[in-house]
Chains A and B, each alone.
Chain A
Amino acid sequence: MTQSVMVQVGQCGNQVGCRFWDLALREHAAVNKKGIYDEALSSFFRNVDTRSGGDGPDIYKGKIYSLKARALLIDMEEGVVNEILQGPLRDVFDSKQLITDVSGSGNNWAVGHKLYGYQYRENIVEKLRKTAEHCDCLQCFFIIHSMGGGTGSGLGTFVLNLLEDEFPEVYRFVTSVYPSGEDDVITSPYNSVLAMKELNEHADCVLPIENESLFDIVNKIHHMVNSGKLGSTVKQNSLVTSSAGGAKTAQEKPFDAMNNIVANLLLNLTSSARFEGSLNMDLNEISMNLVPFPRLHYLVSSLTPLYTLADVNVPSRRLDQMFSDAFSRDHQLIQADPKHSLYLACALLVRGNVHVSDLRRNIERLKPSLHFVSWNQEGWKTGLCSVPPVGHSHSLLALANNTCVKPTFIGLKDKFMKLYKKKAHLHHYLHIDGMEQSCFSEAISSLSDLIEEYNELDATKGGPRIDPPRLQIAV
């Protein structure tokens, strides 16, 4: 069994990360009734004997003593991390997993990446090594951060670089929250594009998320629950946004529901690696199947169902609806419509009591309405995990490598150019040691190249399918 380490950087990264650990504990508690520390738990948690005070040795088998998250919490201001440490999750982390500072990065990528990066490099490497040492077989680093700010964006991508240098064999999956349309951080386009270059070059897989989509989904659920349009009752604690039964804070912050969605995404992504199933889908398989060319590693994700009706028997129709929803525009976690763009590859990870025949039936049904690139007409990767998420009898995570990410990137580029042409706010960046004009021009050029690659693929869409001639054998 392999282990994964979560690296949460910045305010957004840490808030999402916090929700992840809460839900992960809840999920494992529901499955692990006997309190035995098993392989599934070990993928994200260490079992530490803390009775002797201080940090005892790791315990690999037997009873659960004290679970410690395999995580690194990094933030250049203290507010968010302090709140986590005073909250109900305080025992899941220990002080050796934190790196904080006081003044923050001022929404400046250069401050995060160059200044704090340089300053904290040794510290970060040492703590990463420590976490890795506790792992029997470390498979993957998950980075959670936002793109628009300073710490998550700048320091987060610095850590990404570090991970590639120090742990080249370990996969790097990055969950990036992209700035929304009415973002109030003026410099977010600069930060995002500078970060994009790093993601292009150093990440194995990126899962872009947009707040607008999360917000829409939260509203939709709210609407459905309160409108009474549904015939039967909705199970409250089955909402993909809820943290009911978990560690609840006094007041639910507005972002909690949205962050829960992202946390669920990560849980579902790793479910097949942690739990058994008839067709396992490990993290290295995700990267292998969904990334046909090294730079095209941006995966659009969607989660269904968003809620479960109290009706336990799932008729085929409802199951099929789950599959249809996964491809609809309002279930995607970024503002994109994969159905009308070109698929390079698609993965479906099903959890719960779903059989291979259900999976096949739905793929056959949905295939005709989707456009796949000519050389990958049957580009489906499937996984079946027997253990459903808490409160659901089944669920589906769809990951698509689809050209519908292009508009997001073009939007970023346009906003960047608007500022850059006027050289607005540039001096804030350039006066940081190590930061030069070329950083900007390289970053925008990297993004342009990426957009161009997607353009080239889109150009093949709908065109005549010309299969290359086969090898001729002399008889």
Chain B
Amino acid sequence: MAIVAVQLGQCGNQIGQEVFNAICSDVRGTHGLCSKKENESYHDACKERFFSEEESEVPVARAVLVDMEPKVISQTLSVAARSGYWKYDDRSHFCQKQGSGNNWANGYSVHGPRHKEVIMNLVQKEAEKCDRLGGFFTIMSMAGGTGSGLGAFVTQCLRDAFPTSFILNHVIWPYGTGEVIVQNYNSVLTLSHLYQSSDALLVHENDVIHKICAQLMNIKQISFRDVNQVIAHQLGSVFQPTYTAESALHYGRNPLGDLMETLVPHPEFKMLGLRNIPQMPENFLAYSTFSWPGLIKHLRQMLIANAKMEEGIDWQVRPPRLGSSTPSSHSTNKPLHFNTSIANLVILRGKDTHSVDLGSFRDPSLYTSWLSPQDAFKAWKTPRAFNKYEKSATLVSNSQFLLKPLDNVVGKAWNMFASKAYIHQYTKFGIEEEDFLDSFTALEQVISSYTSL
């Protein structure tokens, strides 16, 4: 089944291009560490998923590029084509001349309706190229105007036009200390709207990735390109082909569906976090060895202690002992900082994955009581190594990972809203105070739900 990517705004397009790059270079590589047959299966599955069969020397990415100003898209198209290994369809993009001015209302209420038909036509065309449509993967930032506002509108349109398809929104959480002053308003409006039409929100935080670049990748002068490449690697590690428990002989054909089924049992809980280890500069890889027990142990502790990367993990945090209290009681009996999960997905790639013991992830004390640990935890595997890492483990988690960042953003936005600052910029385009209040209410609900896990 094929996934159609929708890249929205500057951030969405810059990241999207790196994602296709990462996927392509992984598939091309000879570092698969597996049999030729395996490699071929992997290659075919990947190609079906992300690239379309067209008369072209290089694979054509299944993507629609949308932005309200032309500079970024033209750069994205040309950088992709220059790689010589893949490209975008020349007709699958839409842009205008003047951007959204970091104004969510402009993106949602003005650009959205105005360009709905053209954009949805492009999406329809890409969808028709797929033998079987597996769903949509949108990439956007929350801080700006196009990715956030137009992105929320387009997601709604996708939901209306494709009621039975899966929609996964990849959302970039901006740096805490501003990239955009009104980023908290834009974020609140985006999240509350996405929650209604999307199936799940997969979040990457700029601050976290920045730290990974600084401390793990040893990059001295970090550019957005570096950040985007780490994000692309992490996304690739989730969406490249794998075997699942249900599909043990063939590469899974419904990655989005499987993801949703595993991780989103309840529509109130859609926030997914991502962790991937190990991460290091490429030239270190040859000198490093990892053991699966070690990687699994680290990943599990990262989950429990809500660590953002594999350095600086708090090993003191332990799950609560079952039987000593009812799991749903409010924090009093739970150890501090313990991250409760609803469901988890671990993806293992590389050498000896078949023999890895994942029992520690099935520990019922990690989870809420709603699902049995068998249902709350799933593992996908492939012996085919990813992106030169001999062993690589990824965790996609529906847990309290994003509770604190969400609470922060809502708090700051509320603070600003109380003084009515910048509101005139939004009412100018038709988003009223009422709409803000609705969004705040919706998100406080989400915060409350995740807090009481």
Chain A interface residues toward B at CB < 8 A:
1-2, 39, 136-137, 139, 276, 278-280, 282, 284-285, 287-294, 344-345, 355-358, 360, 363-364, 367, 374-382, 384, 467-468, 470-473, 475
Also in contact, A375 and B418, with CB within 8 A (given A276-B71, A276-B75, A284-B101): yes
Q: Number of B interface residues, CB 8 Å? A: 52
Given contacts A139-B98, A382-B178, A470-B414, 17 further A-B contacts (CB under 8 A): A1-B69, A279-B224, A285-B145, A287-B101, A288-B425, A292-B422, A357-B220, A358-B221, A360-B210, A374-B419, A375-B418, A375-B421, A381-B179, A381-B180, A381-B181, A468-B414, A475-B448
Chain B interface residues toward A at CB < 8 A:
10, 14, 69-72, 75, 97-103, 145, 175-182, 210, 213-214, 220-225, 227, 410-412, 414-416, 418-422, 424-425, 440-441, 444-445, 448, 452
Asked whether B221 lies within 8 Å of A471 as measured between CB atoms, the reply is no
CB-CB under 8 A from A382, the residues of chain B are 178-179
What is the number of contacts between chain A and chain B, taking CB atoms within 8 Å? 139
CB-CB under 8 A from A377, the residues of chain B are 412
Complexed CA–CA distance, A282 and B69 (Å): 10
21 interchain pairs (CB within 8 A)?
A2-B69, A137-B98, A278-B225, A279-B179, A285-B145, A285-B180, A293-B420, A294-B424, A355-B221, A356-B210, A357-B214, A357-B222, A357-B223, A360-B177, A376-B421, A381-B180, A384-B224, A468-B418, A471-B440, A473-B441, A473-B444
Asked whether B224 lies within 8 Å of A380 as measured between CB atoms, the reply is no
Nearest-neighbour CB distance to chain B for A468, whole angstroms, equals 4
In the complex formed, the residue of A with least CB distance to B96 is A137
Complexed CA–CA distance, A382 and B144 (Å): 12
CB-CB under 8 A from B410, the residues of chain A are 470
CB-CB under 8 A from A384, the residues of chain B are 224
CB-CB under 8 A from A356, the residues of chain B are 210, 222-224, 227
The listed residue (B99, B222, B225, B441) touching A282 by CB distance below 8 A is B99
**Closest 4 interchain pairs by CB?**
A284-B101, A380-B178, A357-B222, A292-B421
Also in contact, A357 and B210, with CB within 8 A (given A290-B181, A375-B421): yes
Asked whether A293 lies within 8 Å of B71 as measured between CB atoms, the reply is no
Nearest-neighbour CB distance to chain B for A429, whole angstroms, equals 33
Asked whether A285 lies within 8 Å of B101 as measured between CB atoms, the reply is yes
In the complex formed, the residue of A with least CB distance to B71 is A276
Asked whether B71 lies within 8 Å of A1 as measured between CB atoms, the reply is yes
Asked whether B70 lies within 8 Å of A1 as measured between CB atoms, the reply is yes
Also in contact, A284 and B179, with CB within 8 A (given A357-B221, A468-B415): no
Asked whether B178 lies within 8 Å of A379 as measured between CB atoms, the reply is yes
Nearest-neighbour CB distance to chain B for A277, whole angstroms, equals 8
In the complex formed, the residue of A with least CB distance to B224 is A278
Asked whether B421 lies within 8 Å of A279 as measured between CB atoms, the reply is no
In the complex formed, the residue of B with least CB distance to A284 is B101
Q: Which of B102, B178, B419, B424 has the most CB of A within 10 A?
A: B178
Asked whether B221 lies within 8 Å of A291 as measured between CB atoms, the reply is no
In the complex formed, the residue of B with least CB distance to A380 is B178
In the complex formed, the residue of A with least CB distance to B415 is A375
Also in contact, A363 and B70, with CB within 8 A (given A278-B224, A282-B101): no
Complexed CA–CA distance, A2 and B75 (Å): 17
Asked whether A475 lies within 8 Å of B421 as measured between CB atoms, the reply is no
The listed residue (A279, A288, A358, A471) touching B182 by CB distance below 8 A is A288
Q: Which of A288, A291, A360, A374 has the most CB of B within 10 A?
A: A288
CB-CB under 8 A from A293, the residues of chain B are 420-421, 424
Complexed CA–CA distance, A279 and B423 (Å): 24
Asked whether B101 lies within 8 Å of A280 as measured between CB atoms, the reply is no
The listed residue (B99, B175, B213, B415) touching A284 by CB distance below 8 A is B99
CB-CB under 8 A from A381, the residues of chain B are 102, 178-181
Complexed CA–CA distance, A272 and B415 (Å): 30
Nearest-neighbour CB distance to chain B for A447, whole angstroms, equals 21
Nearest-neighbour CB distance to chain B for A370, whole angstroms, equals 12
Asked whether B181 lies within 8 Å of A289 as measured between CB atoms, the reply is yes
CB-CB under 8 A from A374, the residues of chain B are 415, 419
Complexed CA–CA distance, A473 and B100 (Å): 33
CB-CB under 8 A from A284, the residues of chain B are 98-103
CB-CB under 8 A from B225, the residues of chain A are 278
Asked whether B75 lies within 8 Å of A378 as measured between CB atoms, the reply is no
Complexed CA–CA distance, A1 and B74 (Å): 12
CB-CB under 8 A from A137, the residues of chain B are 97-98
Also in contact, A280 and B415, with CB within 8 A (given A139-B98, A356-B222, A363-B177): no
The listed residue (A358, A376, A473) touching B181 by CB distance below 8 A is A376
Nearest-neighbour CB distance to chain A for B119, whole angstroms, equals 19
The listed residue (B210, B444, B445, B452) touching A470 by CB distance below 8 A is B444
Nearest-neighbour CB distance to chain B for A400, whole angstroms, equals 12
The listed residue (A278, A360, A467, A475) touching B175 by CB distance below 8 A is A360
The listed residue (B72, B213, B227, B425) touching A291 by CB distance below 8 A is B425
Complexed CA–CA distance, A133 and B82 (Å): 37
Complexed CA–CA distance, A279 and B11 (Å): 9
In the complex formed, the residue of B with least CB distance to A287 is B101
CB-CB under 8 A from A1, the residues of chain B are 69-71, 97
In the complex formed, the residue of A with least CB distance to B443 is A471
Nearest-neighbour CB distance to chain A for B184, whole angstroms, equals 9
Nearest-neighbour CB distance to chain B for A3, whole angstroms, equals 9
Complexed CA–CA distance, A323 and B411 (Å): 29
Nearest-neighbour CB distance to chain B for A99, whole angstroms, equals 28
The listed residue (A291, A345, A357, A471) touching B444 by CB distance below 8 A is A471
Asked whether B102 lies within 8 Å of A376 as measured between CB atoms, the reply is no
Complexed CA–CA distance, A78 and B425 (Å): 41
In the complex formed, the residue of B with least CB distance to A272 is B71
Nearest-neighbour CB distance to chain A for B417, whole angstroms, equals 8
Asked whether B102 lies within 8 Å of A288 as measured between CB atoms, the reply is yes
Asked whether B103 lies within 8 Å of A288 as measured between CB atoms, the reply is yes
Nearest-neighbour CB distance to chain B for A148, whole angstroms, equals 31
Complexed CA–CA distance, A269 and B328 (Å): 55
Complexed CA–CA distance, A471 and B415 (Å): 11
Also in contact, A475 and B452, with CB within 8 A (given A1-B97, A278-B225, A364-B177): yes
